[in-house]
A and B are shown apart, each in its own frame.
Chain A
Amino acid sequence: MQDALFYTFAFLTLVFGFLVIANPFSRNPVTSAMFLVLTIVSLAGLFVLLHAFFLAAVQVLVYAGAVMVLFLFVIMLLDLKAEERRKIKTFGLVGGLISVGAILAIFLSSLLHAPLGAAESPGLEGGTVSLGKLLFTRYLLPFEIVSVLLLVAIVGVVLLSKKDLR
């Protein structure tokens, strides 16, 4: 049952991820954003299969909720009608395919030679309690630094979106 679910979610993730970057029916960024939402939701399914329940919830809330709404707002703000008439350059496509294929070959060959036989019986549960305990004891300093980072991001965005940018 778990294996079937894994294959389903993995297949869905990869197909939707492909449709984000190269949709054969539409070059509109809105469809890309919608397929990115579906990719993220199926990734959350994979997280649930890995028993990372809290992260699955955060993934759906933060990515599919907040980040994608931000993306859609910007797409609506910018009005990208001229985008659909653009052609993809053949040189860029060939170069991209070659370089990505090379990187994929490196990844897969290193994966084949890696000693991965550890931990036959994984018993880890990524619930809110265990993750929160770790977050507020051992990783307290990074947690606080991240909150400062969010404040910096807020100030930066407000400054950037002022009318007269100097």
Chain B
Amino acid sequence: MTVGLEHYLVVSVLLFCLGLLGVIVRRNLLVMYMSLELMLNAANLALVAFSRFTNNLAGQVFVFFIITVAAAEVSVGLALIVALCRKHQTAHVEDLTTLKL
């Protein structure tokens, strides 16, 4: 059986679920952030696979934009994490309870 669109989509779905599991289970801010990157990459893989198997290059242009936006997002998010850690001395989400009643 030759590899088709479904195979790539299954890999993409599994990778997305791994990233989601990491965001839910892990409590370290940096590891949660890396899991977010995993989820973004899973979406990228699905877009590239669709672009290849429907002969439409727009999907690859979208992935290009997603990579750019992800780079901007990572830089801003990491700056926020550094500012937060400077203030609270922790990178653990359960120690950040300022919004709790």
Contact = CB atoms under 8 A, between A and B. Distances in A.
A88 B13 contact: no
Contacts of A58: 64, 67
A18 B20 CA distance: 11
Interface residues of B, number: 71
Given A40-B41, A78-B91, A160-B76, A139 B21 contact: no
Interface in B33-51: 33-35, 37-38, 41, 44-45, 48-49, 51
Interface in B50-101: 51-58, 60-61, 63-65, 67-76, 78-83, 85, 87, 90-92
A51 B76 contact: no
Contacts of A13: 11, 15
Contacts of B44: 43, 55, 59
B80 A55 contact: no
A46 B11 contact: yes
Contacts, number: 224
B11 A70 contact: no
- The majority secondary structure among interface residues of chain B is helix
A5 to B, nearest CB: 9
A17 B28 contact: no
Contact of A165 (B57, B73, B83): B83
B65 A122 contact: no
A157 B19 CA distance: 25
A42 B5 CA distance: 18
B51 A20 contact: no
A43 B34 contact: no
A89 B94 CA distance: 11
Contacts of A52: 48, 51-52, 60, 63
A25 interface: no
A126 B64 CA distance: 11
A118 B90 CA distance: 50
Given A50-B51, A126-B52, A153-B73, 14 more contacts: A3-B2, A20-B22, A52-B52, A70-B78, A71-B30, A74-B78, A83-B92, A96-B24, A111-B6, A116-B4, A116-B5, A118-B54, A124-B57, A160-B79
25 contacts: A3-B3, A7-B3, A14-B11, A17-B15, A17-B38, A18-B18, A20-B35, A21-B21, A21-B25, A22-B25, A29-B28, A50-B49, A50-B51, A52-B60, A74-B81, A77-B82, A92-B24, A100-B17, A108-B10, A124-B56, A142-B65, A149-B69, A160-B80, A160-B83, A161-B82
